[in-house]
Homo-oligomer: A and B are copies of this chain.
Amino acid sequence: MRERVHVREVGLRDGIQMVKTMLSTARKLGWCEATAAAGIRDIEVTSFVPAKVVPQFSDAEEVARGALALGGFTASALVPNLKGAERAFAIGLPLVNYVLSASEAHNLANVRRTTDESIADFARIVAARDAHPGPRIALGAGIATAFGCTISGAVAEARVVAIAEHLAAAGADEIIVADTVGYADPRQVGRLLGKVVAAVGRLPVACHFHDTRGLGLANVVAALDAGVRRFDASLAGLGGCPFAPGATGNINTEDTVYMLEQLGFDTGADVEALVALRREVESWLPGERFSGAIARAGLPKTYRARLDAAA
C-alpha cells in the first residue's frame, strides 16, 4: 500500500494567466475532463479576478459551473479578495483558495494592500464562508513569495511561519506555501516547510513551486522529507505571474507525477495520459513556452507504476 501524494493541476489557473491565446470555455472544460480521466482528482479550474485584470478568466463562472457539472474531481478556484470569494461561493465550489504575499512589496503590487490587510481580508472571507448557505466550503490559504521576492529579495522565515499561523487561526483548511518567483532551494524548503508543518499542526500543508531556476523537483523532494503530501503543478510546465518577472513555469505535472511514482508514492495519475493531454493543450497555445522532460524522453523501462501494474 503506497502512500498517497496529491498533485493538484493548476494549469487552468496559474498556467494560462499569462498566455496570449484566449482559451474557450469548452477547451478549458475539456482540459479538466481529460485531467480527471488521467487520474488527477484536484484541479484549480479558474481564478475569480476582475476580467479586466486577467481577461483569460472572464469566463470564470462558466468554467467553475461546468467543472462542477463534470464531476469526478475536486474543483477549486483562486480568489484574490472577498469579492472574488463571494463569486466562487455563489457557484458552490467545494474548495476556494485565497492567496496573499509574504513579501509586502509583492502584495502591494499584486493586490494594492499590505500583507496584514490581506490577512484581515481572509478573516472576512472566512466569515462570509461561514454565513454562506449550503454545504460547507473549504478554504485554502496561500502564501506567495514565501521563499523570496523579485522586488524585495529575501523574506524572513519567521514572517512566513507567523503568516501561516495567522491564516490557520483565522480558519484556513489548508496552507499553501508558494515559491512564486522560483527562488527556493531544497535546503531552504526543508527548513521552512519543517517549521510551517510544525506551526499549523493538524492542517494539511501544500507546496506550490515554480521551476524558474531548475530546482522545482529537487524542492518537491525536500518538501516530501518535511512531511508535505500536496503539490500544485501545471501541465507542460505552463505558468507565470504578472508581477514576478522571469517567473515562468510551475513545476511540470507530468514530470512531477513521474518522479513521485518513482519515489514510491501513489499519485493515482497516468503519466502517458497526461503527456497525451499535454500534446493537445500545446496545439491550443501556439507560441507559448512548454517545458518537461518526460514528454521529450518518454518513460524509462524501469518505470515503477508500470512494473507494479504488470506484476
Contact = CB atoms under 8 A, between A and B. Distances in A.
Contacts of A264: 187
| Count of identical protomers in the assembly | 2
Contacts of A153: 301-302
Determine the interface band of chain A, counting residues with CB < 8 A from chain B: 35 or more
B212 A297 contact: yes
Contacts of A293: 182, 211-215
A262 to B, nearest CB: 4
A300 interface: yes
A198 interface: no
Contact of A252 (B150, B214, B218, B297): B214
A17 interface: no
Interface of A: 148-150, 153-154, 181-183, 185-188, 211-215, 217-218, 220-222, 246, 248, 252, 255, 258-259, 262-264, 292-294, 296-298, 300-302
A263 B300 contact: no
A69 to B, nearest CB: 35
A294 B150 contact: no
